Structure 1
Amino acid sequence: MRKPALLLVLWSALSGGALAATVPVSVDLDLDRRALSPDIFGVSGWPNFQQVAYPLVRWGGNSTTRYNWQADVHNTAGDWFFMNIPDGDGTPAASSFEAGIGAALAADAHPLVTLTTIGYIAKPVQQKRWGFSRIKYGPQLQDECSYFGNDPPTWCTADAGNGLCNPAQNQTQFCNSSGVIVNNDPLDTSDVATPQTMRNWVGHLQQTFGSAANGGVRNYALDNEPMLWNSTHRDVHPQPLTYDEIWQRTVAYASAVKAQDPAAQVFGPVTWGYCDLFGSAADNCVDGSDREAHEGKPFVKWYLGKVCEYQAQNGVRLVDVLDLHYYPQGQGVVDFSDPPNGSETATVSARRLRSLKELYDANWESESWVADLGNDPTWHYSRPNLIPRVRAWIDEECPGTRLAITEYNWGADNGASSALAQAEALAIFAREGVDAAARWVMPDSGSLVERAFRLYLDYDGQGSRVQGFSTRAISSDVDALGAYAVHAPGQRVMILLFNKATTSTTANLDLGTSLAGPWKLYRFSGTSDLAQVASGNINGSTIAVSNMPARSANLLVLPDADVIFADGFEP
């Protein structure tokens, strides 16, 4: 029998009874239901799973593109003088890679392994090598030692150039009029690699850890940001990638993976950001001659069509998961050169929190250079609307494809607004139907952003997680208060509330159904660690969470409507 509505007011230890702005929130557990994938709470890097049990860990980034798995050597690419760096003792068994895979599988986490599709891997030599020798290719604007100024370390290599030259000073045939070293030899650092090379690696991982269907590695990404190879890996791939080339590489390498381990899940094409949603590296960001030669279709939309076209013709699903990278471009929102707390000015913090709407709001114009692309009537470039946009492309071109955002970042590890943005981004991923996600990079231990992950993965310190079905929750003022609901049938109802205001806020919740039993409230902010801050009992369909502190993330854990028939409920 439905109980009469009852308004319960929750006071945290921090509230002090102060007057707060009030935001109505309506919840409906029956609408917009989507199963929440735990893999959205992933990170890039090898964590201590005893500290935070991340369910997905990605091994990726520029330095993985030319990784030689047999010799345990990687190439730093354009991030650091195109240099080969040996790791471990030169064997797979001693590599940090295999140690990380083993730890992840032991913790029931899902590793996502980046395979090389560029056609080269680092030479199997246990010493540094570099792509642009100053002795071989002439003077360059910087080398590894000059990077450090007047006090270079003893380990630096003065011959390792950055591949950029001054045509007036470098009169060799290698320095072009644009000041770029050209016609270098890729074999200075790298050996040719083929799809069979990657098939052999998958086979080795099967032998070491088991097949995808038997507890081994099941997720493989088709390299890392190939549309940037002509920049990041220009010592071996100086030409910009086209629609056709990336598809040819997809067919060759994904086929090799599927032939070796049919249960493996392939992620592709691993875009770098906003531009290659719409065009290839050969195009001018969103449009160009390459796109026009492919029916004028945005690259990702075209790529999805090719995946299902191939499956219809060959009976093999080459790409199971659409893999995208996305970074908000607003000034100061993401700046890896900032100190650990990043930019937390009032202007940047507000911009950072508003930029979350780029993930889902069809009417929101990016507060960045993306707005300069214009509001084209067909594609609305200035309005990213990222997740609904690509989900619509999936529905149109290749239904059943899952969606991953395997690189993203909303600010530095110890920024208060960064941590709040991270926490809300995870709720958005759940609501909008993302299947896997990995922050770049794993947050530092004890950092504010780590709190955002703990809110979902261990909110009570006893391993309790936010899990179940994302359902409808509507805030009357999303710029002040983000509201999200997750329903674990027969167990609990979880309401996530993100106070983005710089003052305290009260949320008046209409739950749409009568609940009865104990509740608990958990919270973190820029000044307080994640902890339980209040508890009580509910007997009705409305409840108020009062005086949530400024810039705080709040999790209200309630009993499910049917939990009175179960024994021992603990929110």
Structure 2
Amino acid sequence: MRLHNAIKALILISVTLQMPLLYAQSATFKINTSLEKKSISPLIYGYNAYADGTNRTGWNNQGGLAALQSLNLASRRLGGNSMTSFNWENGVTNSGDDWCNSSNAAVSAATGAGDPSQTSGLAYYTPGAGLINFHDQSLTLNTYSLLQLPAAGKLPKDIINLYPPATCKGSDLWQSAAGPSNIDTARWLDIVNDKPTTVDALSTSPSLADNVVYIDEELNFLIQQYGNAANSRGIKGYELDNEPDLWHHWADVNNGSGTHYNLYPNLTTVGDVFQRNIALATTVKRMDATAQTYGPALSGYLGLFSLWAVWDGVQSHQPADWANYNVEPFATNNTGDRYRYNGMTLANAYLSSMKQASQTANQRLLDVFSFHYYPQASYTPIDRVQAARSLWDANYVEPTWITQTGNGFTDGRGLQIVPKLKQAIADFYPDTKLAITEYDFGGRDDISGAIAQADALGIFGKQGLYLATYFGDAEGFIASGFKIFRNYDGNKSVFPEISVQAISSNNANGAVYAAVSAADPNTLHIIAINRLVTSLSSSFQITNPTSFKTAQVWGVSGTSTAITARTGVSNIASNKFSYRLPASSVMHFVLTP
């Protein structure tokens, strides 16, 4: 989940420079349907269930069933800070520093499981009620379910304050009576991945009195309910907890010491996070060898860099064992090129650790490397429309502390997060897939939100991501950004599944993405983005065996979130045509012979 920049920054002052778009108002888009052909994973069109700010529950979340169906998405994640402490046995979660450290019914209620019982002791909900609601909704929507499992070590036992005040920062409500500590240890339960055979067989009606929550029992419950991941109804993927870099770090003077410092009382170390991921992945694969595992779900660049780093005004503080990992081959893969991974050393160490553990276990323990992306420069429309370029573009140097010379990260170079992580995967654990399980560029109520969202989806497909799940309100202009790919004509017509080469002569002005379908290779889809607040003169030059004659066009621009049919193209000659893209717009062209 998005936190204040000060938590994620190595320095106290984050520099944000305003970069006026003083660019020539034109761009040439070149498309070659024979080059750079690759499959686009449909799972990049996904969202985080119940991750909105409106307190709507069940189907009402994200605007309701009809709204979700109109987005025509392909994946859903149940994850976030509250899932780190979700007790599947009775539906209780602890919100940590996000919400007064209160134990409440936030996750279960949000899924539509209703209000918690006040008369059944600890049995606030039947076992797995929230999980069943989540996955049943996924089945209705025909989407892939990614479910986050807990790994930090403790879970809440009961509900202490169901509705803590909105102004709760600094007012911890974990314990019911005043005392010297915020932590009432009697209300924590231990997580045990594998239930001992000396206890009892795995049960779908777990004991609420044994002070233990078994993860293999949770997995068994879901498998008994839906079958394993190979089954058409089964849950396909499990994420190995969430943002361990923010569980508990050195106290930051402005933003505290992490999200779950009560649940995880010691400062987080690299080795402990790795071992918890390995142990949980081993349990998942033992219970369901067909399920996919995702990890480590780091919160952003600083997590990829060193798990966590906090500047106290005098010096930097990092995990106690960071020196064991900030070494070769993790730093540069023995190449001496300190920018080979743009400083994302922790990612390399994690991949290497998971590979070694997989070799020992004689099975792959990590299927998908996952991380979160909340751009540091997307708080104004000017920055927002450029922000997604940090995911790939070497020529885009975002105006933030990460790229600032002298801070020890990219030193004036573009971030290129996705290509750098793909290089890390190739070097340290080949064939691992890549996912962004939380991201948000903002702009729900502004056309810049549609531009950033569409740009991100185009990048995900072009760069070969396996899964991406947006975190926030999938409404307004965010919905427009999804629909331009997944329902551009109101009939759930989609951008097709085979990406082809598409190059913009000026990425600061506009972006371009192109794809064809195996079922209809003679139809070409192009999505063109105008980042400028003025119209953009664009020239399209297409290399393709078939000569295209006409193009239908749909787009979103201005102040309306509606995607509407626009003036088409009827004068395509030699596979070339010109089109003036409206100011601040996203256009979907469908070209036919």
TM tier relative to shorter chain: 0.7 to 0.9
In 1: Cα distance, 2:309 partner to 2:406 partner:
20
Are 2:98 and 1:79 equivalent residues in the alignment? yes
Are 2:255 and 1:240 equivalent residues in the alignment? no
Report deviation, 1:306.
1.4
* Structure 1 contact 28–471 (Cα < 8 Å) conserved: yes
1:358 alignment counterpart: 390
**5+ long unaligned stretches in structure 1:** 1-19, 131-142, 150-156, 164-169, 175-180, 335-347, 565-571
Larger Rg: 1
Q: Cα distance 1:260–1:103, how it changes in 2: closer, same or farther (>3 A)?
A: same
Match of 1:428 among 437, 442, 459: 459
Are 2:83 and 1:36 equivalent residues in the alignment? no
AA paired with 1:198?
Answer: I
- Once structures 1 and 2 are overlaid, which stretch shifts more, 533-542 or 52-61? 533-542
TM alignment of 1:54-93, pairs within 5 A = 54-86=73-105, 87=108, 88=114, 89=116, 90-92=124-126
Match of 1:413 among 416, 437, 444: 444
* Structure 1 contact 370–382 (Cα < 8 Å) conserved: no
1:222 alignment counterpart: 240
Deviation track 1:198-253 (CA, whole Å, cap 9, x = no partner) reads: 21111111111221000210111011101101110111213222221011101211
* Structure 2 contact 102–164 (Cα < 8 Å) conserved: no
* Structure 2 contact 150–241 (Cα < 8 Å) conserved: yes
Q: Cα distance 1:29–1:515, how it changes in 2: closer, same or farther (>3 A)?
A: same
Q: RMSD in angstroms over aligned alpha carbons?
A: 2.9
Report deviation, 1:441.
1.6
Are 2:211 and 1:194 equivalent residues in the alignment? no
TM alignment of 1:468-507, pairs within 5 A = 468-489=497-518, 490-491=520-521, 492-507=523-538
1:311 alignment counterpart: 358
2:283 alignment counterpart: 256
TM alignment of 1:147-226, pairs within 5 A = 147=167, 160=173, 174=181, 184-188=183-187, 190-196=188-194, 197-215=214-232, 216-226=234-244
**5+ long unaligned stretches in structure 2:** 1-23, 51-61, 109-113, 117-123, 195-213, 249-257, 331-344
- Once structures 1 and 2 are overlaid, which stretch shifts more, 523-532 or 33-42? 523-532
Structure 1 length normalisation: TM-score? 0.79
* Structure 2 contact 509–532 (Cα < 8 Å) conserved: yes
In 1: Cα distance, 2:531 partner to 2:172 partner:
50
* Structure 1 contact 254–319 (Cα < 8 Å) conserved: yes
Report deviation, 1:355.
2.1
In 2: Cα distance, 1:144 partner to 1:66 partner:
17
AA paired with 2:388?
Answer: L
Q: Cα distance 1:293–1:449, how it changes in 2: closer, same or farther (>3 A)?
A: same
Deviation track 1:147-194 (CA, whole Å, cap 9, x = no partner) reads: 389xxxxxxx9882799xxxxxx9x865xxxxxx6xx34443x21111
* Structure 2 contact 86–93 (Cα < 8 Å) conserved: yes
* Structure 1 contact 73–122 (Cα < 8 Å) conserved: yes
The count of corresponding residues between Structure 1 and Structure 2 is 486
TM alignment of 1:329-348, pairs within 5 A = 329-330=376-377, 333-334=378-379, 348=380
In 2: Cα distance, 1:95 partner to 1:453 partner:
30
Report deviation, 1:77.
1.3
1:384 alignment counterpart: 415
Match of 2:551 among 497, 508, 519: 519
Q: Secondary structure at the match of 1:553?
A: strand
In 2: Cα distance, 1:360 partner to 1:191 partner:
43
Are 2:158 and 1:107 equivalent residues in the alignment? no
* Structure 1 contact 279–290 (Cα < 8 Å) conserved: no
2:567 alignment counterpart: 534
* Structure 1 contact 352–417 (Cα < 8 Å) conserved: yes
In 2: Cα distance, 1:353 partner to 1:360 partner:
14
Structure 2 length normalisation: TM-score? 0.76
In 2: Cα distance, 1:286 partner to 1:403 partner:
29
* Structure 1 contact 279–286 (Cα < 8 Å) conserved: no
Match of 2:495 among 463, 466, 474: 466
AA paired with 2:363?
Answer: V
In 2: Cα distance, 1:58 partner to 1:101 partner:
10
Report deviation, 1:95.
3.1
Report deviation, 1:76.
1.4
Report deviation, 1:426.
0.7
In 1: Cα distance, 2:388 partner to 2:48 partner:
20
Report deviation, 1:304.
0.6
* Structure 2 contact 271–321 (Cα < 8 Å) conserved: no
Q: Cα distance 1:485–1:82, how it changes in 2: closer, same or farther (>3 A)?
A: same
Q: Percent identity?
A: 27
Report deviation, 1:428.
0.9
Report deviation, 1:145.
4.9
In 1: Cα distance, 2:497 partner to 2:317 partner:
37
In 2: Cα distance, 1:545 partner to 1:101 partner:
46
Are 2:570 and 1:543 equivalent residues in the alignment? no
Q: Secondary structure at the match of 1:403?
A: strand
Q: Secondary structure at the match of 2:85?
A: coil
Q: Secondary structure at the match of 2:527?
A: strand
In 1: Cα distance, 2:318 partner to 2:499 partner:
36
Q: Cα distance 1:526–1:536, how it changes in 2: closer, same or farther (>3 A)?
A: closer
In 1: Cα distance, 2:291 partner to 2:166 partner:
45
Deviation track 1:100-130 (CA, whole Å, cap 9, x = no partner) reads: 211212332001111000111221x4x4359
* Structure 2 contact 77–146 (Cα < 8 Å) conserved: yes
Q: Secondary structure at the match of 2:34?
A: coil
1:139 alignment counterpart: none
AA paired with 1:313?
Answer: T
In 1: Cα distance, 2:171 partner to 2:375 partner:
36
AA paired with 2:553?
Answer: L
* Structure 2 contact 100–172 (Cα < 8 Å) conserved: no
Report deviation, 1:91.
3.1
1:374 alignment counterpart: 406
Q: Secondary structure at the match of 2:478?
A: helix
Q: Cα distance 1:243–1:31, how it changes in 2: closer, same or farther (>3 A)?
A: same
AA paired with 1:450?
Answer: A
Report deviation, 1:415.
1.6
AA paired with 2:219?
Answer: V
Q: Secondary structure at the match of 1:212?
A: coil
* Structure 1 contact 240–281 (Cα < 8 Å) conserved: no
Are 2:269 and 1:271 equivalent residues in the alignment? no
